[in-house]
Every structure is written in C-alpha cells, then in structure tokens.
Amino acid sequence: MIIYKTAEEIELMREAALVVSKTLGEVAKILKPGITGLQLDKIAEECIRDQGAIPGFLGLYDFPKTLCISPNTEVVHGIPNDKPFESGDIVSVDCGAILNGFYGDHAYTFEVGEVAEEIKQLLKITKECLYKGIEATHGGNRLSDIGFAIQQHAEAHGYGVVRELVGHGLGRTMHEEPHVPNYGKRGRGKKIKNGLTIAIEPMINMGTEKIKHLSDGWSILTADGLSSAHFEHDVAVVDGKPDILSTFDYIYEALGQK
C-alpha cells in the first residue's frame, strides 16, 4: 500500500532530506585523493548527529556503516573501507538520515581528482536521467513513466540500466511502496497523485546492465567491470508537480560549482 503524505508530513520529510543534503556537502568538501571511505563515514555520522538526526543506514538490515560508498565499478551498497581514493576514481556516496521520524535518502557520484572524459560523460548522463525521472513524476502520469524516461535517456547513450535495484517509496520507513524501477514501458502502474513521496535513483552502467554480488554480502558490482554511476533525490508530488525535497546545492557550493 502506498502511504500518501500530508503537506505537513512533506515539510517534515524535507527537513530530513536536507540533513542528508548537508552531509553530502560535508563529504564533498573532503573527498580528495588519499581520503578513505572510513574517513568520509566518520565525518558523515558526526554531521548527521550534529543536526539532531540519526544515521538512517547504520544498522538498517544490519548494514554496518553510515554511508554506502561505491567506487568505480561498484554500483551501490559498498561498505566504507580504509583504501584511499585515487585521482581518476568516481565514488557513489549514498546517505540516509532520520529526523522528525522520517527518512531522508539520497546519493551523489563524485569525481576524485582528474577523471577521464568518458567517465565524466557517464556521470553527466546519469544525473540527467535522474532529472528526466523527476520531470515525469507529475499528475496525469503513471509510475512506470518515471522509469520509461530514465531508460530512454540512458539507452540513447548506449548505457545499461540496472534492473535488480530500484527507487522506492520513502517515509517513516526507508523502503515503502511503490517500487520505482529505472526502466519500464509508458503508462503502467498506479497513477501519480499528490502526497506521493519517493526516492528516485538511477543506477546506470557504462556497459552491461548486469551486476554481480561481492562476497561481503553487500557490495554490488558491474558484471563487466566497467564503471557505474548513481544519483538519488527525494521527491514529493505537490499540486500535481514534482517537489524535490533534497538538494545538491551544498555539494555544488563545496565544489565551487555555484
């Protein structure tokens, strides 16, 4: 069952989402060659707790850390470790926080140092896919129109759209109905209505859409060893239109991009 939120609940969710946005901004400030995932994780946990919130991933389904950190060929769900990032890496950082009893959950794929042009292009298109999905999240559309928009854009550039992992409803629990796949046919599934709150999160691979699981029980990798990118926003439907609850502005500010 989809749990539609009231206007008041959506504002509480916006606050939770912004805890994550600010935390990703702090990550952006320090993510450079030589930094490790464990260092990012520590900063992120402190940042979340300093805002009066609780890390949303820590302990969820027994996940051991605050951040999911997935570099290069890892798609999502990587566990932070002590291996320093190197120039040329890309790093998906996914973060969750609980505030006001609601979850925020969003993600950004960062460039470390100098990244190859073809990888930059993968990041650009994956971020565009996220916004194409968000644009499709409006009254008059159905849920599958989101995935349709994402898939069209990714495949037009020859990329693979991961099938096994999908976006999701978000609220007082981290994963609510509905599933929000990043692929699909037009006009299927439930109608998009006011009060819908979802995390839209395209996971786009440079090569095959196929994935494999690492033996740590968490990390997901591309099957062909090519790079993968991941961007995620929390979105509510208000007055028939998408309202993005999270923001990348703190990241852009930290990176000097705004």
* 234 binding Mg ion? (CB under 5 A): no
- CB-based burial label for 7 (10 Å; 0-12, 13-18, 19+): exposed
35/165 with CB nearer Mg ion: 165
Please identify, among the stretches 9-17, 22-30, 86-94, 130-138, the one whose residues bind Mg ion according to the rule CB under 5 A: 86-94
Distance of alpha carbon 117 from alpha carbon 113, whole angstroms = 12
What's the alpha-carbon Rg for the chain, to the nearest Å?
17
Distance of alpha carbon 121 from alpha carbon 179, whole angstroms = 27
* 27 binding Mg ion? (CB under 5 A): no
* 107 binding Mg ion? (CB under 5 A): yes
* 48 binding Mg ion? (CB under 5 A): no
Please identify, among the stretches 3-11, 98-106, 179-187, 190-198, the one whose residues bind Mg ion according to the rule CB under 5 A: 98-106
Size of the site for Mg ion (CB under 5 A): 6
Count of other CB atoms within 10 angstroms of residue 60: 14
Q: How far is the CB of 107 from Mg ion (least distance, A)?
A: 5
Please identify, among the stretches 15-23, 104-112, 121-129, 212-220, the one whose residues bind Mg ion according to the rule CB under 5 A: 104-112
Interior angle at CA 52, CA 50 and CA 53, nearest 5: 105
User: For the chain, how long is the longest CA-to-CA vector?
Assistant: 48
Residues of span 188-227 touching Mg ion by CB under 5 A: 199, 201
**Alpha-helical segments (H) within 105-159:** 117-135, 144-156
* 94 binding Mg ion? (CB under 5 A): yes
**Residues binding Mg ion (CB under 5 A):** 94, 105, 107, 199, 201, 232
